[in-house]
Structure 1
């Protein structure tokens, strides 16, 4: 098979895989809202979208995982590498600027719609026992960021800065997601997260002799 035909076949297969995964997640959330997480079976979920039980377990280990959705949407390695390299330039990019770029890149790759976000929020409101699973997923991603900061800054593993930065920026990222999906918002997610990180900077004056040069966000007027 020629390389181009092989690549096209792989592309079609991947698109089909993503469509099936997306259909599973949407159906699992609809059924959860209608009947509760204990009110339907994996078999009923499979019947909803026309796949076999065996196919289901190729995508998710449980119906709870199907409700929570995909966990394989990670940042491409070149973006993570750029974050690490930004600490080795001359002069190094300040950590908070590098983190702002990283979170903005992540936001630029969001594929969830407002409707999907609201549906997931409604599911979690109905089934709060799913929250620990969600927190466990978030903790795994937080640990990745902690490890990246440790590597970028050359810090010992027990240094508090990486965990504090991850905790604070992670909270800002979640708050920014709420703002991004709020009714009437016209800003992109990168614009929202950068605006909130700029606000965070105002809490901490720069050391004496270091000038602060913050960008003017879209809803601010120049002084």
Structure 2
């Protein structure tokens, strides 16, 4: 039998961890909005949040990562296992939508926080370089995961294109969800974007011949 005190204590620790992480991100974004990214130090950020420098670096490797809310402590290992296990039972596109929808449903960010992050990037556009640089690494890793599921070479263009396409559709859905009014769920928006993309390939329109060919 599971000791309920241990379970409750573990749950409290996790909630405290998430609250600390959120406080660091929110404060980092507010300081960036007020002073610019170079206008404050990690020590000043820690002082405002009420954590030590060591605690900060337990959550984020840099000030920029804190502003973007990026870290490696939210790898969805269970979703990855489900994605790989679905090979042979679900078509790839359906499995990708399920993976992205489940991952999107776990986004620990509110509409207000997303709007704040959007405003920060408007002020400090160089953060986009880091954001998309990190995204490129994750996209490459995701392509390798798709290739593994489909028994393809890691650099197979089909796996790369699948990762790029679902990544773009997920981003568009995330943007629409957080910047829009309350309404459609993230899953609904994602499925709508996937349906729109499918139309491009299933509309039956003939592909134009390259210039100079019959």
State the TM-score bracket (shorter-chain normalisation). 0.7 to 0.9
Partner of 2:134: 137
1:185 is displaced (CA, Å) by 4.9
Partner of 1:153: 150
Partner of 1:177: 174
Q: C-alpha root-mean-square deviation of aligned residues, in Å?
A: 2.0
Q: Which runs of 5+ in 2 are unaligned?
A: 205-214
Is structure 2 residue 121 aligned with structure 1 residue 121?
no
2:189 counterpart (186, 189, 192): 192
1:169 is displaced (CA, Å) by 1.4
In 2, Cα distance between the equivalents of 1:199 and 1:153? Answer: 24
Partner of 1:218: none
Range moving further from structure 2, 141-150 or 191-200: 141-150
In 2, Cα distance between the equivalents of 1:53 and 1:84? Answer: 39
Aligned residue pairs total 202
Partner of 1:47: 47
The TM-score normalised by the length of structure 1 is: 0.83
The TM-score normalised by the length of structure 2 is: 0.86
Range moving further from structure 2, 4-13 or 196-205: 4-13
Range moving further from structure 2, 18-27 or 45-54: 45-54
- 1:58–1:85 distance in 2 versus 1, CA, 3 Å: closer
Higher helix share: 2
Partner of 2:6: 6
